[in-house]
Amino acid sequence: MSIKTRLVFSYLVMLLIPVIMTIVIAHLAGDYYFNDLQKYGVGHSITTVKGALIERENQFSQIKNTLLQSPDKLLDTNYLKQLDEQLRNISSGIIVRKDNSVIYMSPKLEGFESDKYLPEFGRFVQDMPVSFKGGDNRLILSQQDFYFTNGSKGSVFLATDIHPLLSLFRRLSITVAVAVIVILVLINGVLTYIIARRIINPLRKLKDSANKIKEGDLDFDVDVESKDEIGELGLAFNEMRMRLKGSLELQHQYENNRRELLSNISHDLRTPITAIKGYVEGIRDGVAGSPEKMKRYINTIYSKAVDADRLIEELFLYSKLELSKLEFKFSEIDIVKYLEDCMEELQFDLEKRRVEIAFNSGGAEPLKVRADVQQLKRVIINIVENSVKYMDKEKGRIDIELNAEDGRVVIAFRDNGQGIPKEALPYIFDRFYRADSSRNTSTGGSGLGLSIADMIIKEHGGTMWAESAEGQGTAVFFTLEKTL
């Protein structure tokens, strides 16, 4: 349930439950006060409010019947006193008026200003509320007009004291008001507690998690089980933590790679520079006394300088590729003819290193691809050099194969070298990775060759992968998109 839905639900609960509970409590309190629990009476005769109201109606009906049968009976003082005794049980009294003069008034109504409050003959009043004695007493007047037998106008009034009833209503109102306040406080407290527990507790967990991250602790899970916006925030927070952890780990790996690169480059540069220094010192000290020896020294110095320059160029190229600052000059070429030319260029050098190279186009017709010829040649050289570097056979062999597929060509370089361990195969295209960790002149290098080749192929819109069987050889593949 979302926070918005939860808040709307809590609002409806806070609105509906108090209303429903107020109705229920008012009903129960009404039953309590108006039925048998709250007593209402005068003197020694006690009845319920409900019974008193019924009795009042019955008494007034009897008076009306008396008026119909014998109106002059209301001139009988004994009858009036007897009637007054009956009315006292329901806190009521009687007033009889003949013409404009009051001829009888119940003692209970002493102080009532009849001239001021009693309506005139013919103005029918049913249950009219009036006050007397400074407003301390409240009466309900019921009027019935009639004629005496001599034709005189008469009116009889039933006056009921409702002060106890008003007190009862007052207590009922207070009871209902207190109940409503208690219900509101309880419901508000319960809902506030529930909402606070569902919102504040997860926020507290997020705060604790943020403090852990601030202190550098990323090895934990953000345990927020809510299925609302805060739960989504917790998931996002946990994903952020994982990405931050991965970023820091990657940064740490980059730092280690950088240190390894510096170490590798320093080692690879130190070897030719040390050799150059040794041969230069030999020339300076006159060790190369003959022209032949001098020529050999100079050729060696040049070869070592070329090695150092190659290492620096490889590092510089990798940096430009990583920063996407290397400009590619794409053109449409016939990949079959291009590979044949590359093989001819590599063949002479590889023969001296006792490695045979062969190209098999599979009888493919000229295939047009879009490529940067210079950078593609670098890819081929890096793959071949890597194969030669790890060649452990007395007679090495590299076979280049070309296969055309829908929309692309697949070029494979298969060698019969020592192969790559299965656990190392997924990482050979990673930057700075070297399957052979030994640092010697035969297998040395910066570990950037295949990584550079992979980055160049990706810039061409292709992919690169490898297959290998340890002890049997390695096959490196890459693809290029065909042009229409």
Q: Report if residue 405 sits inside a domain.
A: yes
Residues 235 and 312 in one domain: yes
Position 442 pLDDT exceeds 50: no
Q: Are residues 85 and 188 in the same domain?
A: no
Judge whether residue 237 has pLDDT over 80: no
239 and 294 assigned to the same domain: yes
User: What are the tens digits of pLDDT across the range 331-387?
Assistant: 999 999 999 999 888 988 888 888 999 988 766 678 899 999 999 999 999 999 989
Nearest of 407, 330, 441, 442 to residue 376 by alpha carbon: 330
216 lies in a domain? no
Residue 220 lies inside a defined structural domain of this protein: no
Residue 213 lies in a domain: no
Same structural domain, 363 and 450: yes
Q: Closest Cα to residue 162, out of 176, 177, 142, 143?
A: 142
Burial bucket for residue 83 (CB in 10 Å: 0-12, 13-18, 19+)? buried
Same domain, 123 and 140: yes
Distances (CA, A) of 329 to 21, 310, 332, 372, 373: 82, 22, 10, 5, 8
| pLDDT for res 425 | 87
pLDDT of residue 2: 63
Indicate if 313 and 373 belong to the same structural domain. no
Check whether residue 370 and residue 383 sit in a common domain. yes
CATH number of the domain at 395, please. Answer: 3.30.565.10
Task: State the total domains in the chain.
Answer: 4
Instruction: Return the closest-CA partner of residue 454 out of 403, 402, 388, 383.
Output: 383
- Residue whose entry in the numeric block shows the structure tokens 């400074």: 134
Same domain, 93 and 23: no
Mean pLDDT calculated for residue range 420-443: 67
pLDDT at 164 over 50: yes
* C-alpha closest to that of 474 among 409, 383, 403: 383
- Summarize the confidence of residues 238-243 as an average pLDDT: 82
Within a domain: residue 352? Answer: yes
Domain residues for 423? 327-481
* pLDDT of amino acid 33: 64
Please tell me whether residues 45 and 146 are part of one structural domain. yes
The pLDDT assigned to 381 comes to 92
pLDDT of 46 above 50? no
Instruction: Please report the pLDDT score of residue 4 as a whole number.
Output: 67
Select the more confidently predicted residue: 253 or 295: 295
- pLDDT, position 129: 60
Q: For the purposes of burial, counting CB atoms within 10 Å of the CB of 74, is it exposed (0-12), middle (13-18) or buried (19 or more)?
A: buried
Q: What is the pLDDT of residue 484?
A: 67
Q: Is the pLDDT of residue 40 over 60?
A: no
pLDDT surpassing 50 at residue 95: yes
CB atoms inside a 10 Å sphere around CB 337: 12
**pLDDT score of 228 more than 70:** no
CATH number of the domain within which 274 lies: 1.10.287.130
Asked if pLDDT for residue 139 goes beyond 80, the answer is no
Contact 126, 143 (CB under 8 A): yes
Beta carbons of 466 and 457 less than 8 angstroms apart: no
pLDDT at position 21 is: 78
Domain end point (choices 320, 339, 354): 320
Average pLDDT, integer, range 214-221: 77
Q: Is the model more confident about 129 or about 311? A: 311
352's tokens: 């001296």
Give the pLDDT mean for 114-131: 69
pLDDT value at residue 431: 63
**How much is the pLDDT for 125?**
56
Q: What CATH number is associated with residue 137?
A: 3.30.450
Say yes or no: 439 and 333 in one domain.
yes
75 and 138 assigned to the same domain: yes
SS3 labels along 122-179: CCCCCCEEEEECCCCEEEEEEEEEEECCCCCEEEEEEEEECHHHHHHHHHHHHHHHHH
Give the domain-ending residue among 275, 303, 320: 320
Q: What is the pLDDT of residue 262?
A: 73
Give the span between the Cα atoms of 156 and 142, in whole angstroms: 8
Average pLDDT rounded to a whole number, residues 241-266: 78
Tell me: pLDDT of 117 over 80.
no
Question: Does the structure show a pLDDT above 70 at 395?
Answer: yes
Same domain, residue pair 151 and 285: no
